[in-house]
Structure 1
Amino acid sequence: MSDREKRQLIVRGQNVPVSEEYWDYVADEQSVKDAEVYRNNTENYVGTVKYPIGVIGPLKVNGEYANREYVVPMATHEGALLASYSRGAKAITAGGGVTTRIKTRCMLRAPVFIFANIADANQFYRFAHLATTQEAIKDTLHKNIGHLTEERTRIRVFQTDRKVHISIGIDSQDAAGQNKVTYAGDLMMKWMKENYPGNIPEMYIEGGFNAGKRVSVMHTLLGKGHSLVADCIIPKEVCQSILRTTPYRLQRFQKMHSRTNEFMGGISCTAHAANGLAAFYIATGNDPACTAESQAAVTHFDLVNPSGGSTGLFDQDLYASITLNSIIIASIGGGTSLPSFQAARSIMGATSANELAEICAGVVLSGELSFYASMETGTFAAAHWNMTHK
C-alpha cells in the first residue's frame, strides 16, 4: 500500500525505499484516492503510471458501425510513430475514407482431453464430434452463460495424437469475452465428464490450441475475437502529395516486403501492425498482450484504374487493404471501465466494440500506408532522427 501522508510504500509489512518522484508520478493524490477503483483490476495496487497519449486524424471510416470521421487516441512513447499514423490517416481521408466490414465475432477457449492412447482418444473424438452437433451441449452453454445465441456459438473438435481439443467460440458482444468463454469451457468439461460413457483420464481448461497471447496460423485463418477486412483507394494525386511517392512504386515495394516475409516464414504479413494495435489497445483500456495474436494479419497493395478503363501503369491509383482476423477488443469489462481509459475513449465517442474494431482496422491500415511510403522514399531513418532529436 502507498501511504502518501507518511510517504511510505509498505509491502508485506516492510518499508520499501522509493524516490521522491514516486509520490509525484505513481502514488500521486488522485492515484491513491482511486485505489478502490482499481481493486478488481490490479492486485497489490501501489499507484498508476502515466503513459503518453497522442491523437491522429481525423480518420474517415466507412463502416457499418463506425461511419464518420474520428480523432483517435493512441498511447505510445515511440517518437515519430503518431506522426506517421497521422499521415496515413490524412491520405485515407483525402481519398474518401477506409471501408471496414466485420466478418465474425468469436472469442475462443479450447479445453483438452487426454487419453492413454490414440484409439481411446479417437473414440472420444467421435463421440465429441457428434455430441457437439447436438442441441444438448449448446443448450447447456446458453442456459448458464448470459446472452449467448445458438447461431453465434461455434464448436470444433480436433484430435492431435492422444489428445482431443474442443474449441469453443462464443459471441461475447461488447466484452472481449476471455473470461466468459473460460466459463463456457469449464461447462463443456463438466458436460463431457457427465455424459461420455467411457473414462476421461485427464482434462484441462486449455491445452494450447487457443493460442492465447501468442501469434499462430490459427489466428490468421480461423480468427478470434473480431475478424475484419478493411480497404481504401488512394488516388495517385493524394499518393504523391501526402505519401510522397507513386502508387506504382508503393505497391511494388509492399509486394517485395511481403515476399521477403513469406520467405522468412512470417505469420504476420504486415509492415508493423503491432505498433498501431498496441497503441490503440492501451489508449482504449484493452489488453495490450493481445497484440501478439491480433497482429496475425495480411496487408495487400495493388494498382487500380481510376476510371475503370485502360490506363498506363503509372497513371493508376493505389488500392490498399488489410485483413485482421483476430482483433481482441471491448467497450465494456476488463480495463475499459477504468477512469483514464474511459476518458481517452470519449475523444472518439465510440460506444460499442464493433465500432472500436472498425476504427482500429482503419488505424492499422493508416500505419501500413505511411510505413511503406517512408521506406520506399528513403525517409524512414531521417523521420525518426528528426522527430526524436529536437
Structure 2
Amino acid sequence: MRPASSGRFSNDGFGLRTLEGFDYESILGQCCEMPVGYVQIPVGIAGLLLLDGFEYSVSMATMEGCLIASTNRACKAIHLSGGATSVLLRDGMTRAPVVRFNSAKRASELKFFLEDPEIFETFSIVFNSTSFMFFYYMIGNFCSDKKPAAVNWIEGCGKLVVCEAVINEEVVKKVLKTNIHALVELNMLKNLAVFAIAGALGGYNAHTSNIVSAVFIATGQDPAQNIESSHCITMMEAINNGKDLHVSVSMPSIEVGTVGGGTQLASQSACLNLLGVKGASKESPGANSRLLATIVASSVLAGELSLMSAIAAGQLVKSHMKYNRSSKDMSKVAC
C-alpha cells in the first residue's frame, strides 16, 4: 500500500531521517505542515466480508497482533452463514454554533423565535448558504466533535448504521470454537451489565474502537473521530430454538468520508479503491461514504463476534501470548 520508494534515507542535520520517494507535495495544504518524514504502519486485509450480497476486502492498519486475524476469522463465520446485512438509518453531520447576547432575556427571545417551524426553515436556508453570520463561535461543542458526549450517543452524529448477521450453530462450534449459550451469556454480562455498572457512555461493546481505528487509519479518515464513531451497542441472542445466533451492532455516529484530506494520499486511496468507494459517487452523491460507513459497521460486527468467541472459549490470552509477543519479549516477561 506504500508508494514506491528507493529505500534511501537522507539526514536533515538534526538526526532525523526522511525516507525518499514519498510524495510530500500531496500532503501540503491539506494533511500536514512542516513534514519531516512519515510513519510506517502495517496494513493487513480482513475478509472476504460478505455484506448485503457483496464481498469486500477490508484494509486495517494496526500494530496490535491478532486483531486482523481475529476479524478475519469472524468474516469467515459470517460468510459461511450467508453474510451480514446493514441498514443506514440517518446521514447528516451536526454543527452547533454559539450565539452570544448581552442578556438571558435576549437569548431566550432567539430561542422562542427559532422554535417556530417556518422561521427555522427559512433561517436554516440562510445559515447553510454562508460561511459568516453573527454567531460567536462556529462550533460550540454541543455537536461534540472528537469528544465523548451523550448527545452523540442518543441523537447520533454522522451516519447511524445497524448491522446484523445470523450465525448458525455449526459455524459457531467449528469456526468460532464456542457455543451460542456461552456467547449470549457473556455478551449480557460483559457488554451490557458490567458496562452499565461502570456508567459507560456509548461503550456497550467489546472493542469497537479497535476495528474503527484500524479501518480509519487505513482509509484516510480522521483518527480522532474514532471517539464518537466507536459508539456502539453489541447485542447477541439465541434464535430458532437456540440453533442460531443473532448478532448485531448499532452505531449512531459513524463519521467517514471518501473525498479530501487523508483519502487523497496514495496508500489510503489504494485501500479505498480496494473497497470500491474512492472519491465521490457520480450516480448518487454521498453513496460512497454511506457504503464505507456500513463496511465499518460490518467490520465491527466481525471484530465483536470473534473477540467474544475467543473470551468465551478461553482462547484470548493464549492467542495473544502466541502471536502478539515475540520470543524476545517473552524472555523479558519471564525474568
TM-score range, shorter chain: 0.7 to 0.9
So what's the TM-score if we normalise by structure 2?
0.86
CA deviation after TM superposition for structure 1 residue 29, in Å: 1.8
Alignment of 1:50 onto 2:36: no
Deviations 1:334-383 (A, max 9, x none): 11011110112222223411121111111000010011111111111111
Matched residue, 2:299: 363
Alignment of 1:121 onto 2:56: no
Matched residue, 1:337: 264
Matched residue, 1:265: 199
CA deviation after TM superposition for structure 1 residue 143, in Å: 4.5
RMSD after superposition: 2.0
Alignment of 1:255 onto 2:253: no
The answer to whether the 8 A contact 1:219-1:294 is kept is no
Alignment of 1:299 onto 2:234: yes
Between the aligned partners of 1:6 and 1:253, the Cα distance in structure 2 is 50
Between the aligned partners of 1:246 and 1:232, the Cα distance in structure 2 is 16
Between the aligned partners of 2:143 and 2:108, the Cα distance in structure 1 is 20
CA deviation after TM superposition for structure 1 residue 386, in Å: 0.5
Q: Which amino acid aligns with 1:29?
A: E
Alignment of 1:220 onto 2:150: no
Alignment of 1:243 onto 2:176: yes
CA deviation after TM superposition for structure 1 residue 131, in Å: 7.1
So what's the TM-score if we normalise by structure 1?
0.75
Deviations 1:200-252 (A, max 9, x none): xx722222211110122111211111111111101011111111111111011
- Between stretches 348-357 and 371-380, larger displacement belongs to 348-357
Deviations 1:166-214 (A, max 9, x none): xxxxxxxxxxxxxxxxx4xx4xxx1xx4xxxxxxxx7222222111101
The answer to whether the 8 A contact 2:10-2:20 is kept is no
Partner SS for 1:59: strand
Structure 1 residues 57-206: aligned runs within 5 Å = 57-62=47-52, 67-130=53-116, 133-141=119-127, 143-144=129-130, 183=131, 186=132, 190=133, 193=134, 203-206=136-139
Partner SS for 1:204: coil
> Is the alpha carbon distance of 1:113 and 1:131 closer, same or farther for their aligned partners in structure 2, counting shifts above 3 Å?
farther
Between the aligned partners of 2:103 and 2:21, the Cα distance in structure 1 is 58
CA deviation after TM superposition for structure 1 residue 35, in Å: 1.7
Between the aligned partners of 2:186 and 2:91, the Cα distance in structure 1 is 33
The answer to whether the 8 A contact 2:152-2:228 is kept is yes
Deviations 1:110-137 (A, max 9, x none): 1112344543322221123237744432
Structure 1 residue runs of 5 or longer lacking an equivalent are 10-14, 145-182, 194-201, 306-310
Alignment of 1:283 onto 2:269: no
Matched residue, 2:330: none
Matched residue, 2:275: 348
Alignment of 1:327 onto 2:254: yes
Structure 2 residue runs of 5 or longer lacking an equivalent are 1-6, 279-287, 327-335
Between the aligned partners of 2:172 and 2:8, the Cα distance in structure 1 is 57
The answer to whether the 8 A contact 1:217-1:296 is kept is no
Between the aligned partners of 2:120 and 2:316, the Cα distance in structure 1 is 56
> Is the alpha carbon distance of 1:338 and 1:125 closer, same or farther for their aligned partners in structure 2, counting shifts above 3 Å?
same
> Is the alpha carbon distance of 1:7 and 1:369 closer, same or farther for their aligned partners in structure 2, counting shifts above 3 Å?
closer
Structure 1 residues 3-42: aligned runs within 5 Å = 7-9=10-12, 15-18=13-16, 22=17, 27-31=18-22, 34-40=23-29, 41-42=31-32
The answer to whether the 8 A contact 2:8-2:19 is kept is no
Q: Which amino acid aligns with 1:49?
A: V
CA deviation after TM superposition for structure 1 residue 299, in Å: 0.8
Deviations 1:246-301 (A, max 9, x none): 11110111000111001110011111100000000000011111010111111111
Deviations 1:27-68 (A, max 9, x none): 22212xx12111121111122211100001101001xxxx40
Q: Which amino acid aligns with 2:253?
A: S
> Is the alpha carbon distance of 1:5 and 1:55 closer, same or farther for their aligned partners in structure 2, counting shifts above 3 Å?
closer
Between the aligned partners of 2:160 and 2:26, the Cα distance in structure 1 is 32
Q: Which amino acid aligns with 1:205?
A: M
Q: Which amino acid aligns with 2:171?
A: V
Matched residue, 1:179: none
Q: Which amino acid aligns with 2:26?
A: V
Q: Which amino acid aligns with 1:363?
A: S
CA deviation after TM superposition for structure 1 residue 6, in Å: 10
Between the aligned partners of 2:14 and 2:119, the Cα distance in structure 1 is 57
